[in-house]
Structure 1
């Protein structure tokens, strides 16, 4: 007799990947590699990975069967721009200084759980003010100490003194803690030293702050901060270690400078111009554009009294970024799914899907951005982003069809990570 498991699965399954074989009956399965919807599939899972996907037939007698026959099943989602190991954005520019290192650890654990429960089973955590808080969170998740997504961590921001990756906006005699300035660099040689230090202490990849930031006071999004030589030095170190570099870059010239320096991806790309889009296409550079975020900043920031210059910079970049996204889609640039979660509450990541469709993608393209394309940027294509044999059994189930209404992904019913049901 087949043992069917529904919502009331024992919590022990959620804390460690089961060694046994189990089966998932998917009523509809989105094949992200082929861009197709498959009806009535049986997914066999062995030791936390997909072993086979076949048309549905009853599994062997006594087998554990997870009955998702009433759902659309797709690979676990990937968010390429989150900030789990930090506080969420508020109207207080001193917020990063109001929390101890130990408190940030607990906050990060809560954010990780919220993200996983929303169906995002893998993330690229692109920076925290307390150096290596993201690395520690990643390791805690991998040990099973806390529940969260698979994480790629950068350790700290590589930024210029007073730049977009610094805690800013205070009186000049305020001393910022040393662990908030680990990635501050002054020249290319310093960049080489600091990037090596990040890798030595567990970073998976590197995040450069190439231009000013919307939410850092005293910086302007269109202004380049890191030099091309500094960025190239970081790229060389990462390449020597078999890793890669992404660059926060809003301004058109900073974007192009970062691409010439050899980065693999651009975060935000808010003010990208036609030349930059063509360069990204030619070089195969990924664009990771958080096109939902501007509405949240404007609405909540206005309501809660965020600093006026932040709201002004947000207005200056939001619609330009969306137009750049539309052009990049049309040009066939590689676009990942990245939200800047942490600016807005974690767990709401899927709100961006409808914006990606609104500004030029098909629902399937948006889903592929959050699965196979993001997995490729992470260099994790063999493990995540798809549900073909060999991949981790990371999957989500939703009641409605996201190819008909992409907002269905905002209401995830079930989540599996590595063969263990967590929701």
Structure 2
């Protein structure tokens, strides 16, 4: 009897571990109804964020200034966009820049890693009175996920500060996979179907006891939905989206033999399955010393993975329905310090964005090649970037959501970037 009870508890622990992360897909019917109202216009339906953790150097990636005092040894190469050059460490991406837009004048209000990450992921500065949701959490919350049996918001790879659900609730946090491609073994039951059914029957007894102890109807309803969807997920064929062993060796090599490469491959598989928002993290960009070696090493992982992800999205007719964004919490200083490094720089850095029907093959903004001007030409606040992305996803960035204490807050306080919008004139 004790052994059987332990099995029940083990099943309950498995459920709690899974449902805590997969709660993002547990939308109430009211949310699904609201999402149905948004389906009239053909717009982008998914977002992929390639998160460059630590703050990538714009001068060693998308905005090189070779032959200048601030440029260092970084070389630049031509791209598929006439007049646009990027760092020589990104040769495969250079061939594909015609499918993307480069923003070289992104601005943030925070230069600390944690605060900067919060600001760039949410569009809001940290506030002790409220925790804002990451844009990656807002997308599935607003668009709905009734067709999914797996999470609608997934974070692949490391990183100290993954996307959070904020005032939307912890159930809207990103579901984290630290080692992409190797995670499915922890999600599927390791016993036969019949034995799993017996375990789940015991879990149902525990759950009924739990519900009986709760008097608030909303809690009981959400708990029941969580159980139903989490258990359905554990036996869902959609879990195969997290696996890469079905991919050919050539595909794996094309994305690159790295956790980030596998993460980008899993991201493509998740988008194919219908996941709304995926974040893939590449860490190690914080180059206060040995900047040039550090950035080159990161680009060696970024280049094949990003390029292959673009190729596959386009080949599978997913690019027009998927917005892809590559950025970090800030850039690096134009000035090279005494340790051959670059420090934090939120006042004019780069990001790359494309897909989802956005304009491509262009550069927005510019930075001073001599590093004397602290403000970029045509500055683009982070909030404006997110307002534009949300608009393209058929989400009104000015819509107010209600916090648990009844406070209305706009999803985003930015303005649209006309140069990114095809119908902006």
TM-score by length of structure 1 reads: 0.31
In the superposition, the TM-score normalised over structure 2's length comes to 0.31
Relative to its length, the structure with more strand (as a share) is 1
Q: Which has the higher contact order (CA 8 A, sep 6+)?
A: 2
